[in-house]
Amino acid sequence: DLRERFHQSNAPRIFQIKRLLADLHQGAMDINSYYTKMRILWDELKNFQPISVCRCGAMKEWLDYQNQECAMRFLMGLNDSCAQIRAQILLMNPLPTISKIFSLAVQKERQRSIHQGVGGKLLDQPLIMSHRANVAVLKGAHIQGNQV
């Protein structure tokens, strides 16, 4: 009788978490912040799911399915600037773990940030290399006493 009287349903919180997950997109966040926010919600949602003990292998299939859902949710929420890495990941068979997907996305984000110049414009890498080579030649000529 006491349990029935004071027991509260988890359904409202589960609904709220699922709504937050459905609405979550990378937006202005970096990939690390987006992943962390998504992972916190996903882990909280998993806490509300019943724990089953199974020896037939069905539980492993269920956990694999949940991990795939988490990975798909993460990929769907990434910005369009991640479309290339998203497409590459979706072509992988089997689909990598969410941790591996996160790692690949962060690597791509870092590569992109390395190539960005002032004002967020992409720099032309051959132009940069040419400029560096010219500076090195000028420094070398100055060191040898030659004037350019």
pLDDT at 81: 93
Alpha helices, DSSP H only, in 48-94? 58-77, 83-90
Please tell me whether residues 99 and 137 are part of one structural domain.
no
- Which residue from 45, 38, 39 is spatially nearest to 10, judged by alpha carbons? 45
Please tell me whether residues 109 and 132 are part of one structural domain.
no
The per-residue pLDDT for range 25-63, each reduced to its tens digit, is: 999 999 999 999 999 999 999 998 877 777 787 888 888
pLDDT at 2: 66
Please tell me whether residues 92 and 46 are part of one structural domain.
yes
Please state whether the predicted TM-score (pTM) of the whole model is above 0.75.
Answer: no
pLDDT reading at 146 higher than 90? no
Please tell me whether residues 108 and 131 are part of one structural domain.
no
* Total domain count, the chain: 2
pLDDT at 1: 64
CA distance 142 to 148: 8
Please tell me whether residues 83 and 30 are part of one structural domain.
yes
3-state secondary structure 104-136: HHHHHHHHHHHCECHHHCECCHHHHHHHHHHHH
Please tell me whether residues 26 and 84 are part of one structural domain.
yes
Range of the domain at 108: 2-114
